[in-house]
Structure 1
Amino acid sequence: MNPGLLPLVVSLLAAQAPAPAPAAQAPKPQASASKPSQVPGIAPLPGQPNLWVSNVPPVPDAFRQRMEQYLEARSASLVDISDDGKQLLITTRFADTNQLHVVEMPMGARTQLTFAKEPINRAAFQPGDSNVIYFLQDKGGGEFFQVFRLDRRTGRSELLTDGKSRHSSVSVSPDGRWLTYGGTGRNGKDTDVYVAPTAQPKQARRVTEQEGSWEPMAFSNDGTKLLVAQARAIDDVDLYVVDVASGARQRITPQEGKGGVTSVVFAHDGKSVYLATDRYSDFAELYQVALDKAPPTAAPESLTKSVKWNVTGLALSPDGRKLAVSFNEDGFTKVSLLDTRTKALSPLDSLPKGVAFGMGFPLKRSDLLALTLGDAKSPMDVWTVDLKSRKPTRWTRSEVGGLDTNTFVEPTLVRYPSTDGVQVPAFLYLPKDAKGKVPVIVSFHGGPEAQSLPTFSTFAQFATAELGMAVLVPNVRGSDGYGKVYRAMDDGVKREQSLADIGATLDFIASRKELDASRVGVSGGSYGGYMTLASVAFYPERFKAAVDVVGISSLPSFLENTQAYRRDLRRAEYGDERIPEVRKVQERISPLGSVSRIRAALYVQQGANDPRVPQSEAEQIVQAVRQRAPDVWYMLATDEGHGFQKKANRDSAQMTTMMFFEKHLGAPRNPEAAK
Structure 2
Amino acid sequence: MNLGSLTPLLVSLLSGTPAAATPAQATQKPATAQAPAPSSVPGIAPLPGQPNLLASGVPAIPPELRRRVLQYLESRAATLLDVSQDGKQVLISTRFADTNQLHLVEQPLGARFQLTFTPEPINNAQFLPTDPRVVFFLQDVGGGEFYQVFRLDRRNGRSELLTDGKSRHEQLDISDDGKWLAYGGTGRNGKDTDVYVAPTDNPKQARRLTEAEGSWLPAGFSHDGSKLLVTQFRAADDSDLHVVDVKTGERRQLTPREGKGSVDSAALTPDGRSVYLVTDRYSDFAELYKLDVDKAPPTSPPPSLTKSIRWNVDAIALSPDGKKLAVKTNEDGYSRLYLLDTKSGALSPVEIPQGVMGGLGFPRGRSDVLAYALSSSKSPSDVYLLDLRTKKSTRWTRSEVGGLDTDTFVEPELVRYPSTDGVKVPSFLYMPRGAQGKVPVVVIWHGGPEGQSRPNLSTFIQYVVVELGMAVLVPNVRGSDGYGKAYRAMDDGVKREQSLADIGATLDYIASRPELDASRVGVYGGSYGGYMVLASVAFFPERIRAAVDVVGISSLPTFLQNTQAYRRDLRRAEYGDERDAEVRKVQERISPLNAVERIKAALFVQQGANDPRVPQSEAEQIVKAVRNRGADVWYMLALDEGHGFGKKSNKDTITMATFLFLEKHLGSPSSAASGSSSGSGK
TM-score normalised according to structure 2 size? 0.96
Q: Deviation per CA, 1:480-514, whole angstroms, max 9, x where unpaired?
A: 00000000000000000000000000000000011
Q: Gapped runs of 5+ residues in structure 1?
A: none
Secondary structure in structure 1 of the residue aligned to 2:381: strand
Deviation at 1:383, TM superposition (A): 0.7
Q: Separation in 2 of the partners of 1:503 and 1:29? A: 49
Aligned counterpart for 1:80 among listed residues 65, 79, 82: 82
Alignment of 1:3-402 (within 5 A): 3-4=3-4, 6-11=6-11, 13-14=13-14, 33=35, 35-349=37-351, 351-402=352-403
One-letter code of the match for 1:170?
A: L
Of 8-17 and 227-236, deviating more is 8-17
Q: Is 2:654 the counterpart of 1:653?
A: yes
Alpha-carbon contact 1:559-1:577 (below 8 Å) kept:
yes
Secondary structure in structure 1 of the residue aligned to 2:447: coil
One-letter code of the match for 1:436?
A: G
Of 140-149 and 23-32, deviating more is 23-32
| 1:530 alignment counterpart | 531
Q: Separation in 2 of the partners of 1:400 and 1:489? A: 38
Q: Separation in 2 of the partners of 1:571 and 1:236? A: 13
One-letter code of the match for 1:100?
A: L
Q: Deviation per CA, 1:539-572, whole angstroms, max 9, x where unpaired?
A: 0000000000000000000000001111011001
Q: Separation in 1 of the partners of 2:399 and 2:14? A: 28
Q: Is 2:493 the counterpart of 1:511?
A: no
Alpha-carbon contact 2:235-2:573 (below 8 Å) kept:
yes
Q: Separation in 1 of the partners of 2:30 and 2:495? A: 34
One-letter code of the match for 2:494?
A: V
Rate the CA distance shift 1:96–1:12 in 2: closer, same or farther, 3 A. closer
Secondary structure in structure 1 of the residue aligned to 2:4: helix
Q: Is 2:2 the counterpart of 1:2?
A: yes
Secondary structure in structure 1 of the residue aligned to 2:276: strand
Alpha-carbon contact 1:92-1:101 (below 8 Å) kept:
yes
RMSD: 2.0
Deviation at 1:8, TM superposition (A): 4.1
Secondary structure in structure 2 of the residue aligned to 1:4: coil
Q: Separation in 2 of the partners of 1:363 and 1:582? A: 49
| 2:680 alignment counterpart | none
Q: Separation in 1 of the partners of 2:281 and 2:36? A: 51
Q: Gapped runs of 5+ residues in structure 2?
A: 675-682
Secondary structure in structure 2 of the residue aligned to 1:100: strand
| 2:677 alignment counterpart | none
Q: Deviation per CA, 1:125-180, whole angstroms, max 9, x where unpaired?
A: 00110000000000000111000000000000000000110000011101111000
Alpha-carbon contact 2:5-2:265 (below 8 Å) kept:
no
Alpha-carbon contact 1:317-1:323 (below 8 Å) kept:
yes
Secondary structure in structure 1 of the residue aligned to 2:523: strand
Q: Separation in 1 of the partners of 2:231 and 2:323? A: 25
Q: Separation in 2 of the partners of 1:413 and 1:6? A: 27
Alpha-carbon contact 2:9-2:171 (below 8 Å) kept:
no
Rate the CA distance shift 1:412–1:28 in 2: closer, same or farther, 3 A. farther
TM-score normalised according to structure 1 size? 0.97
| 1:624 alignment counterpart | 625
Deviation at 1:35, TM superposition (A): 3.1
Q: Separation in 2 of the partners of 1:541 and 1:32? A: 45
| 1:471 alignment counterpart | 472
Rate the CA distance shift 1:15–1:244 in 2: closer, same or farther, 3 A. farther
Deviation at 1:669, TM superposition (A): 2.3
Q: Deviation per CA, 1:341-399, whole angstroms, max 9, x where unpaired?
A: 000000011x1000002101011111100011010011011111111000011111110
Alpha-carbon contact 1:24-1:185 (below 8 Å) kept:
no
Of 29-38 and 550-559, deviating more is 29-38
Secondary structure in structure 2 of the residue aligned to 1:456: coil
Q: Separation in 2 of the partners of 1:362 and 1:511? A: 51
Rate the CA distance shift 1:12–1:217 in 2: closer, same or farther, 3 A. farther
Alpha-carbon contact 1:27-1:611 (below 8 Å) kept:
no
Alpha-carbon contact 1:436-1:670 (below 8 Å) kept:
no
Q: Separation in 2 of the partners of 1:31 and 1:529? A: 36
Q: Separation in 2 of the partners of 1:77 and 1:296? A: 37
Rate the CA distance shift 1:613–1:191 in 2: closer, same or farther, 3 A. same
Q: Separation in 2 of the partners of 1:331 and 1:6? A: 18
| 2:418 alignment counterpart | 417
Q: Separation in 2 of the partners of 1:25 and 1:652? A: 24
Secondary structure in structure 2 of the residue aligned to 1:541: helix
Rate the CA distance shift 1:375–1:559 in 2: closer, same or farther, 3 A. same
Rate the CA distance shift 1:342–1:27 in 2: closer, same or farther, 3 A. farther
One-letter code of the match for 2:273?
A: K
Rate the CA distance shift 1:12–1:119 in 2: closer, same or farther, 3 A. closer
Alpha-carbon contact 2:2-2:220 (below 8 Å) kept:
no
